[in-house]
Amino acid sequence: MVVAAFLFFFLREGETPLDVALARAGIPEPVNERASLYSDEEWKPTAGADGYALAVENDAYALYVRPDNTQIALADKKTGYRWTSNPTQEQIAEETVKGQLLTNLQSPFVLTYVTTEGKDQTNRKAVDALDKNLKAKLSRSANGLQVTYAHAELGLTFSLEYELTEEGFKARIPTNGIKEEGKFVIFSLDVLPFFGAAKIGEDGYLFVPDGPGGLIRFKGDRANISKGYIHQVYGLEPTNMINFQRSGERRENISYPVFGVKRGDQAFVAMISKGGDSSNIAAMPPGIKSSFYNVFANQIYREDYLFMRSRESTPVKAVQKKRLETDREIEYRFLNGDKADYVGMADAYRDYLSDNGKLGEPLEPVKNIPLYLKVMGGTFNEAFGRVQYFPATTFDQATDMVKGLQERGVDNIEVIYYGWQNMGGYRLDDRFPIEKKLGGTAGAKAFIDEMKKRDIGVQFYDDFVWLNTANTGLSPKSSGIRGVDGTVSVFEGWFLSKPARTVDMAYQAVQKLKDIGVSGILYDWIGEMVFHDYDPTAIATRGDTVQIYSGLLDYTRKTLGWSGVYRGNDYTLANIDYIMQMQYESSFDFMIDETVPFYPIVVHGYIPYSFNDGNLRNDVEAEFLKAIEYGAMPSFYLTHEESRKLRDGGMYFLFNSQYEKWADRIGVEYKQFDQLAHVFSQRIVDHEKLAEQRFATTYEDGTRVVVDYGNLTFAVEKGAGM
């Protein structure tokens, strides 16, 4: 009996323990840093004539607070401009909304609370600083102010800290300061919701992180249509079934937790520096909650989830019991004059990233612009219990492809190979040996050696995140992430791998690929999706997922030399060499008036990125011009076989990929892209709209790229040099 149990244990457990998996790749266990609170000593200021009292100041800024309602104001010492957390008394007097909405408008926060017991769990109520039962206690540090709000009746306490910096200030909600002592708990918290709120008709805009960057002008005629913009950073939580109720919604998930406001020649940009993964960014038009335009971060502390009493019954909505115990911090940086626009905001965000080690080194200049050549090796198809591999491009054919492109003048190529796994990755956790029909390991080696001679990097694509119960030996129980109710989230047989298991699989692949000479891995999903894991034995947050993913990218880069991701969420930026399919289009929201290349401005010169593959565009000319305007690299997704043949192999998304059909066209398009080779390593310093269909992008050395969508042309005006 004992022997049998022992045997069973050994035969079953082929899986690496998760902590071992992390340790092998040299990735530290995720840590959740918690800021400590200020000392208890209360500070009781007296207000000046305008109602404000000076709290703290440094060389550049002074922070004021109103002792009566805890509103704050930030004065820029250089310009004398004052940003306030709320509209002025005069504006409040004119306001048309009443009741709670009116008091919200005068508060530096709005807290939404719920109860996790009984029937009324979906009943949300809000409380703000003007609530009579709320007590605010001020205390100070050398460069900061802490306001502790305590609501005796609700039993809720939390602290809001403001800390001055050289560029502005940080607003922080330390998790240590949150106390839930009654029946009620915090659901979410809006921090400084009306900071910099603007009226219709003012000159300026709200900036929101929609696609590459979205502007909302202070226009007056949108009230009837738009209900506002409120979206979670890095997308909705995939473990939560509620989020699938609005299925089919297609939009560009937020890749970077940044928002901002421009008013006249003043602007600020706000970066969520802690807890961005659990925040919503919200922008409201007038007519919904007030008569102002405002943008802010809404901090999520709990989720609604569907609680299943039994398999058959309809699930009930419930609120998560345990609070997400992470610090939240938003860093505001202020801009004025020429810098007070979205280009300035992008600059400030780039500075913020490099100050904090979240952006890698600048790129080295290149002679020719790199062309990212995605090669589809092939895939499997399943029919009638048979699984067969359907090759689309063998290693030999890929060699010919590269040679052909070089003959056509494509002088800098990076290859990314898809579908190289045994049976094209049919067994999701069993990738090796490299598919025989493509040429096997020997074929791969020969291909890579040939490419090395030509100074071309060969990267392999893989997905280590989605697993399927049918096609893997890994059990959902030990490797799948779990929803709030503690069960593994399985979607039609598919489940998400625990981040540590992802590392485990990737580590094994990296070790083997290194021997073959592969120079990097393009990771699917790592750069675009994060999630909680409510495994009762070890609860992990989206923040933990972010940390492990960054570690994996770092490990891959150190071991192989190159790592790449899709979409390129901001947490990957420090450790990647390439972003595939970076966002370049808006989500087509009613709310967004203009789409601007905010994220490209941040990233250009640091990480090369490409948009939609050149042979798979929706709109051939416009998307090409967009790539030129936004400084993207050319990329093509090719096969040796005719696309039509690929459909039977399940590659129906490659609707136009045959190399032979594309070789000449690629040669021509590459020459156009190559006109921008000299700005490859430069930052974008300006971007402007010249006319309705004409845009100009300016680089460090003064090179100006003018793109005209009207007559479908572009011109490169070379700069004088740096």
Partner 1 sequence: MKRWLVFLLLAAIAVLALPPEANARLPYQTTYYDSNQSYWYGIQAIYKPEGAYGGQFDEPVDLFVASDDKIYVADKGNDRIYVLGNDGGALAEIGDEEGPGALSSPEGVFVTADGEVYVADSGNERIAVFGADGKFSREFKKPDSPVMSKEHFVPTKVVVDRRGVMYVNTNASYQGLVRLSPNGEFMGYFGANKAQQTLLNWVKKLILNKEQLKKEVPGLPKPIQNITIDPDGFVYTATGGSFGASAIRKLNAGGVDAFKGKTFQHSHGIQDVAIDLNGFLYNIDLDFGRVTIFDRTGDPLFAFGFTDVNTQQYGVFGFPTSIGVDTKMNVWVTDSRTKTIHKFRRTEFGDDVLKALVLYDEGRYEESKPYWERVYARNEMYNNLYIGLGKVYLEEKKNELALDFMKEAYDTKGYSKAFWELRLDWLQKHFLGLILGLIAVYLLFRAIPIAYRKILAWKPPSEAYKKTLDDIRNLGRVMIHPYDAFYRMKEAKVSPWLIISILAAVVLVKIASIYWSGFLINPINLAYVDLWASLRLFVLPWITWIIANYLVCSVKDGEGKFREVIQGSTYALAPYLICSIPLIILSNVITLEESAIFNAISAVMYIWMAVLFFVMTQVIHNFEFLESLKNIAITVFAIGTIWLFGFIVFGLSYNLYDFFNQLYNEVIFYR
Binding to partner 1, residues 211-240 (CB under 8 A): 221-229
Q: Which of residues 460-479 bind partner 1 (CB under 8 A)?
A: 466, 469, 475-477
User: Is the CB of 77 or the CB of 644 nearer to partner 1?
Assistant: 644
Kindly state the number of chain residues that form the binding site for partner 1, as judged by CB under 8 A: 71
Nearest to 233 by CA among 549, 571, 551: 571
CA separation for the pair 195, 268 (Å, rounded): 10
Q: Which of residues 14-43 bind partner 1 (CB under 8 A)?
A: none
Contact region for partner 1 (CB under 8 A) — 254-262, 501-509, 510-518, 645-653? 645-653
Q: Output the smallest distance, CB 687 to partner 1, in A.
A: 20
Q: Which of residues 487-506 bind partner 1 (CB under 8 A)?
A: 487-488, 490-492, 494
623 binds partner 1 (CB under 8 A): yes
User: Is the CB of 31 or the CB of 383 nearer to partner 1?
Assistant: 383
199 binds partner 1 (CB under 8 A): no
537 binds partner 1 (CB under 8 A): no
Q: Output the smallest distance, CB 303 to partner 1, in A.
A: 17
CA separation for the pair 625, 707 (Å, rounded): 7
CA separation for the pair 550, 548 (Å, rounded): 5
The Cβ of residue 336 has, within 10 Å, a number of other Cβ atoms equal to: 16
Q: Output the smallest distance, CB 666 to partner 1, in A.
A: 13
User: Is the CB of 120 or the CB of 648 nearer to partner 1?
Assistant: 648
Q: Which of 167, 504, 524, 674 binds partner 1 (CB under 8 A)?
A: 524
Contact region for partner 1 (CB under 8 A) — 3-11, 165-173, 271-279, 585-593? 585-593
Q: What are the CA-CA distances from residue 474 to residues 16, 497, 502, 504 (Å)?
A: 10, 9, 11, 12
CA separation for the pair 321, 163 (Å, rounded): 31
User: Is the CB of 307 or the CB of 494 nearer to partner 1?
Assistant: 494
Two tokens, residue 298: 């809404």
User: Is the CB of 73 or the CB of 496 nearer to partner 1?
Assistant: 496
Q: Which of 619, 660, 664, 717 binds partner 1 (CB under 8 A)?
A: 619
Q: Which of 88, 314, 537, 711 binds partner 1 (CB under 8 A)?
A: 314
Long-range contacts of 705-714, Cβ-Cβ distance < 8 Å, separation of 24 or more: 705/628, 705/629, 705/631, 705/676, 705/679, 707/625, 707/628, 707/629, 708/625, 709/622, 709/625, 712/621, 712/622, 712/625, 714/625, 714/628, 714/629, 714/672
Q: Output the smallest distance, CB 206 to partner 1, in A.
A: 15
The answer to whether the beta carbons of residues 61 and 50 sit under 8 Å apart is no
Q: Which of residues 49-88 bind partner 1 (CB under 8 A)?
A: none
CA separation for the pair 66, 53 (Å, rounded): 6
Q: Output the smallest distance, CB 251 to partner 1, in A.
A: 7
The number of residues in the chain equals 722
Q: Which of 523, 584, 695, 699 binds partner 1 (CB under 8 A)?
A: 584
Q: Which of 322, 514, 558, 644 binds partner 1 (CB under 8 A)?
A: 644
* Site mask for partner 1 (CB under 8 A), range 427-446, x = bound: --------------------
Contact region for partner 1 (CB under 8 A) — 3-11, 508-516, 539-547, 643-651? 643-651
Over 220-260, what HEC string results? CCCCCCCCCEEEEECCCCCCCHHHHCCCCCCCCCECCCEEE
CA separation for the pair 501, 545 (Å, rounded): 11
Q: Which of residues 242-281 bind partner 1 (CB under 8 A)?
A: 244-252
Q: Which of residues 86-125 bind partner 1 (CB under 8 A)?
A: none
Exposed, middle or buried, 338 (CB in 10 Å: 0-12/13-18/19+)?
exposed
Rg, Å, the chain Cα set? 27
Q: Which of residues 369-428 bind partner 1 (CB under 8 A)?
A: 383-384
